[in-house]
């Protein structure tokens, strides 16, 4: 693996999931791989899980870690080519990425969608500019359209739950449900989860209010319904997430609280497990009773971020 920008960079998902499970069972087995290697983690946006889990994973592999918040710790970065830099961004990505590529063997980048210009966000300019100018492997720590480290952790969590419970079928029913929120959030987590579920042996259903259709390339072969109750019937996994509209780009079209997940909703499922990438606003998107129930996997899911990051970093390090 050279870059980890999306599922397209993964040659064998089953092997990558197993590598994550192996790392969980034996975290320090590959400490030699990262010796004298450095990962730089560049954040254009806030993070708790991605920042801590990726740092921990890199350290488990023996790597050195440097972290920077762009615009706070460093200069603001200009991404556009050929512009007159007379604004508030003091450094161009051409120099910044090239310099970071000299200090780091791998660079991880978090850069969310701005939700103003859909074409610009979906071009993934920040990831591609860093990949072009840094000349070292780039790891997506959540970009404008995808969050593949999260999706890999989600797959690890589903496989782990299947191993632990004989009640979950080999081909489980997995439902991605939109949740209400007053703020416009990116589609990245929902896009990515859909992309990865389309590549897994699951019955995959997406449910959301009208107007919240994801981009067709991410919906893939999923069944889409606007009836949340019908979607939940017999489900083994409920994956909750809010996202803003793709068609009416970046807009909040409804805040209908009936889409929040409660225990009454979970009772429609096959003792379904509840998943969410976190952070989650309690009782706005998901009821306390769900998050605090034995059916919630959210903490284990977040814990598995360490093992998804470790599997990906290992895959890159073995090519160096």
For the sheet containing 106-110, what is the strand order?
64-69, 38-43, 106-110, 138-140
The answer to whether 145 and 188 are in contact (CB under 8 A) is yes
Tokens read off for 188: 């990245």
181 part of the interface to ligand CP, by CB under 6 A: no
Residue 279-298 contact track with ligand CP, rule CB under 6 A, x = bound = x-------------------
Closer residue to ligand CP in complex, CB, 188/287: 188
In angstroms, the CA 95 to CA 307 distance is 33
Residues 259 to 278: which contact ligand CP by CB under 6 A? Answer: 277-278
- Told to check if 225 binds ligand CP by CB under 6 A, we report no
Distance CA 117, CA 103 (A): 33
Annotated ligand binding at 104? The verdict is: no
Q: Which of 3, 6, 50, 145 binds ligand CP (CB under 6 A)?
A: 50
Other beta carbons within 10 angstroms of residue 5's beta carbon come to: 21
101 versus 108: smaller Cβ distance to ligand CP: 108
Is omega for the bond preceding 279 within 30 degrees of 0, making it cis?
A: yes
- Binder among 49, 146, 273, 285 for ligand CP (CB under 6 A): 49
Nearer to ligand CP, 30 or 306 (CB): 306
Which one, 260 or 277, has the nearer CB to ligand CP?
277
Q: Which residue is nearest to ligand CP (CB)?
A: 50
Of 50 and 207, CB closest to ligand CP: 50
In the region spanning residues 298 to 317, those forming contacts with ligand CP, defined by CB under 6 A, are none
- Tell me if 319 is assigned to a ligand binding site: no
Identified binder of ligand CP from the candidate list 18, 38, 47, 69, rule CB under 6 A: 47
Specify the stretch interacting with ligand CP by CB under 6 A; choose among 5-13, 47-55, 81-89, 223-231: 47-55
> Is 297 annotated as ligand-binding?
no
What is the nearest approach in angstroms of ligand CP to the Cβ of residue 305?
A: 7
Closer CB to ligand CP, residue 101 or residue 218?
A: 218
Q: Left if phi > 0, otherwise alpha if psi is -120 to 50, otherwise beta: which for 4? A: beta
Q: Is 142 in the site for ligand CP (CB under 6 A)?
A: yes
Under the binding rule (CB under 6 A), the answer on residue 150 touching ligand CP is yes
Between 169 and 279, name the residue whose CB sits nearer to ligand CP: 279
Fill in the per-residue mask, 5 to 44: x = in contact with ligand CP (CB under 6 A), - = not in contact: ----------------------------------------
The residue behind tokens 């009782």 is 283
Stretch that binds ligand CP, among 46-54, 78-86, 200-208, 223-231 (CB under 6 A): 46-54
CA distance 320 to 108: 16
Indicate the annotated binding residues for N(2)-succinyl-L-ornithine: 142, 181, 241, 281
Residues found near ligand CP in the complex (CB under 6 A) = 47-50, 142, 150, 277-279
Indicate the annotated binding residues for carbamoyl phosphate: 47-50, 75, 110, 147-150, 277-278, 305
């Amino acid at each position: 693996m050279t870059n980890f920008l999306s599922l397209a960079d993964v040659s064998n998902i089953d092997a990558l999931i197993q590598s994550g499970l192996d790392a969980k069972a034996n975290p320090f087995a590959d400490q030699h791989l990262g010796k004298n290697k450095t990962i730089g983690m560049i954040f254009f946006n806030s993070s708790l899980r991605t920042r801590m889990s990726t740092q921990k994973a890199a350290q488990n592999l023996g790597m050195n870690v440097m972290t920077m918040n762009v615009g706070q710790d460093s200069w603001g970065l200009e991404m556009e080519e050929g512009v007159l830099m007379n604004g508030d961004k003091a450094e161009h990505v051409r120099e910044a990425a090239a310099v970071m590529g000299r200090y780091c063997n791998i660079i991880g980048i978090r850069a969310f969608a701005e939700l103003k210009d859909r074409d610009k966000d979906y071009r993934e300019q920040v990831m591609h500019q860093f990949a072009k100018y840094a000349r070292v492997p780039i790891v997506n720590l959540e970009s404008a359209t995808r969050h593949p480290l999260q999706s890999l952790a989600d797959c690890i969590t589903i496989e782990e739950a299947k191993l632990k419970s004989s009640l979950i079928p080999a081909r489980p029913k997995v439902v991605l449900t939109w949740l209400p929120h007053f703020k416009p959030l990116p589609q990245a987590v929902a896009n990515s989860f859909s992309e990865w579920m389309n590549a897994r042996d699951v019955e995959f259903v997406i449910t959301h209010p009208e107007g919240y259709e994801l981009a067709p390339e991410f919906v893939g072969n999923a069944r889409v319904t606007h009836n949340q109750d019908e979607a939940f019937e017999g489900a083994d996994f409920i994956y909750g997430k809010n996202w803003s509209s793709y068609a009416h780009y970046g807009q909040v079209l409804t805040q209908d609280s009936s889409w929040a997940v409660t225990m009454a909703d979970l009772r429609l499922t096959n003792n379904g497990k509840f998943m969410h990438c976190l952070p989650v606003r309690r009782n706005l998107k998901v009821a306390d009773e769900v998050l605090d129930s034995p059916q919630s996997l959210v903490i284990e899911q977040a814990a598995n971020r360490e093992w998804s990051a470790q599997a990906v970093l290992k895959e890159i390090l073995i090519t160096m």
